[in-house]
Structure 1
């Protein structure tokens, strides 16, 4: 019933957006009841992230004519999709956009290799295993986003903004979190948290420093969002480790911005791109091992997710072998005739 309630709510919102803030909390409650029925890590994570977290933020922004899904989608179907799913229509469509076959095939092959390597996890260090999990997470998000993009192009006739933009090439924390990793979330936080907090801060301090409270507030809200997500995944009392992870990222990102401002004015200098990328990705990973991953490891969520993937791959293999057998049998029968 939760899903149908949400559809009904969105139908009302589409006809009267000024009342969307009234229904946002109802959407959250019905979504929360719905996600409690899922035991699959993948489905639970996708449902909580898309519906309980992002959809509510989008609807709140929508009620104030800010952020997605502004501008208003032309059809009700598009309104549902752009509200439910972590997607955004491409503002400047490019006729040269195409499905990256080679890129996706390479990523699928790498994921296959990683799944095979997990069979030797008893011989791996915990840090190496976590690194493989993070790489796998990034690859799978990109793979799913690529196939989802095809479905959207077919059924809605519009192209999408990329889900991520090669985060391993980030040269700074600001670049990583703001322009490369999970781009839908920064777009929401920028409109819902950063911009209002910056406007309030600039009334009490100089405009040059008003952005720092906005940056910290955005990371704190992101941490609380992830804390709620972890609660649904682990069903355990929050430890606040993941919140502190994002607080730490916010503090260092703000410090990085301040350092850039100071060095640009007094003594311009910069590291080489290779060193910047190594430091950025290394910091995100090291702090992730320290604060982001432990709760998932202790609760067994990562092991459950890996087990689900192995079952899914085995299912696909069995179906492929079955279909191949049927095809070969049909060919033999045809040749015999």
Structure 2
């Protein structure tokens, strides 16, 4: 574990130096091809950084934050778009946080309070209880149907994912003294797949994909499709790119040869949303479903497709047990200086 911590420090140092360089490039070179060429080496470095790490708890965040989000933000920055391109320009301090973290600073800070929905601690109580029950339930996975076990894993990781993002936003917002846009909007209440991916789940990534893939794809397809239907191939292209980026992340996590199941998962999401767009534009309110039925169809589709195509790649990593062992190894290293690998640590929760 000691070697892994050292590799993480090396990666973070390289990332920090790269972001300082990228900020300087933005100050010296105007937006366009020249700035992109100057930033291209940094993008390549970001994509390769997770290959220096062997643990999920380190490689996962580096892959998502730098290889995916960081690279995409720098591409947008090269052409004067995205969250890194502001007027006035971001300070180096703000630039580093905005480039490598899943945050989006609200530009009009004076009206920020009206844009953020405040929740009480009571709102989170049922979610915490479900998370605890999922962890306990996974410990007895041999007694449950495999689909139930997958539900335990799915909810556990969604909960940890959302909590991690919220903690990052709270911490960064406090450090920078700014209000940040919300990253999730109760995805479990989505009444269509388009509503789920576009307006409720991981909104920072949705905004980045909209800028770097959807808008250019829409502009290109406008030459071949009528304006009424141009959003359909643009959406499908966006989900194809999202699928490829998820394949990259899974490769970073386990160095397994891609099976492309995850890519097909996102292609299927894009096809479904394309169908929703066509139905809405052709039938309109004539086929408007009751909210409860629309919610049931949406959640059923997402659950079945996730179980079928997304989770097989995910479960190859045995994620809960692996992360538990890696966390215990990290705690042992920090507490006692023991340089033990995750294989030499037992997980106290799952045996």
Superposition deviation, residue 105 in structure 1: 5.0
Residue correspondence of structure 1 range 252-331 to structure 2 within 5 A: 252-264=272-284, 268-305=286-323, 307-308=325-326, 311=328
**2:6 equivalent in structure 1:** none
1:27 aligns with 2:45: no
Give the conservation status (yes or no) of the 8 Å contact 1:89–1:158.
Answer: yes
Give the conservation status (yes or no) of the 8 Å contact 1:114–1:136.
Answer: yes
Higher alpha-carbon deviation: 29-38 or 177-186: 29-38
Give the whole-Å Cα distance in 1 for the aligned partners of 2:36 and 2:242.
20
1:162 to 178, 182, 206: 182
**1:75 equivalent in structure 2:** 91
1:58 aligns with 2:73: yes
1:93 to 112, 132, 138: 112
Residue correspondence of structure 1 range 2-17 to structure 2 within 5 A: 2-17=11-26
Give the conservation status (yes or no) of the 8 Å contact 1:108–1:143.
Answer: no
1:112 aligns with 2:128: no
Give the whole-Å Cα distance in 2 for the aligned partners of 1:247 and 1:303.
30
Give the conservation status (yes or no) of the 8 Å contact 1:31–1:51.
Answer: yes
**1:323 equivalent in structure 2:** none
Give the conservation status (yes or no) of the 8 Å contact 2:55–2:253.
Answer: no
Give the whole-Å Cα distance in 1 for the aligned partners of 2:178 and 2:84.
14
Return 5+ residue gaps in structure 1 as ranges.
319-337
Distance 1:62 1:89, change over 3 A: same
Give the whole-Å Cα distance in 1 for the aligned partners of 2:138 and 2:326.
13
CA RMSD of aligned residues (A): 2.5
Report the 3-state secondary structure (helix = DSSP H, G, I; strand = E; otherwise coil) of the residue aligned with 2:81.
coil
Give the conservation status (yes or no) of the 8 Å contact 2:218–2:234.
Answer: yes
Higher alpha-carbon deviation: 300-309 or 238-247: 300-309
Superposition deviation, residue 234 in structure 1: 2.0
Q: What CA deviation, in whole Å up to 9, does each residue of 1:110-131 have, x standing for no partner?
A: 3222222222111111111111
Higher RCO (CA < 8 A, seq sep 6+): 2
Give the whole-Å Cα distance in 1 for the aligned partners of 2:84 and 2:97.
10
**2:209 equivalent in structure 1:** 189
Superposition deviation, residue 252 in structure 1: 0.9
Q: What CA deviation, in whole Å up to 9, does each residue of 1:249-285 have, x standing for no partner?
A: 1011101110111111xx6231111111111111111
**2:248 equivalent in structure 1:** 228
Give the conservation status (yes or no) of the 8 Å contact 2:138–2:153.
Answer: no
TM-score by length of 1: 0.85
Structure possessing the higher radius of gyration over alpha carbons: 1
1:246 aligns with 2:293: no
Poorly superposed stretches of 4+, deviation over 4 Å: 95-100, 306-309
Give the whole-Å Cα distance in 1 for the aligned partners of 2:142 and 2:244.
33
Distance 1:256 1:97, change over 3 A: closer
Number of equivalenced pairs: 313
